[in-house]
Amino acid sequence: MFYTYILKSQKNGRLYVGSTDNLKRRFEEHNKGIGGIYTSNNRPFDLIYYEGYISYKDAKVSERFYKTGYGREVLRGKLEDFLKK
């Protein structure tokens, strides 16, 4: 399985969108500071949403979509109740 996931920073409340083939490992890496500068500087994170896909290509397409302006609107709709907290 491949996953597109959304993390919410406990530090500043911002969202991070990514994709992976091992959700548990990648989530742990983000919270340990392994990876990019943004996630290293804004940890710890909560995993607030994920979608599973059969193919890597589909997960990457979903990730890219959620990083667009319209994709963020769609995501806000899906996460509306959670983001109010």
The reported pTM is 0.90
Ramachandran class of 75: left when φ > 0, alpha when ψ lies in -120 to 50, beta otherwise: alpha
Domains of the chain with bracketed CATH: 2-83 (3.40.1440)
Helix segments in 1-85, DSSP class H: 23-32, 37-41, 56-66, 69-78, 80-83
The mean predicted confidence, pLDDT, of the chain is 92
Q: Is the pLDDT of residue 6 over 90?
A: yes
pLDDT in tens, 15-42: 999 999 999 999 999 999 988 888 889 9
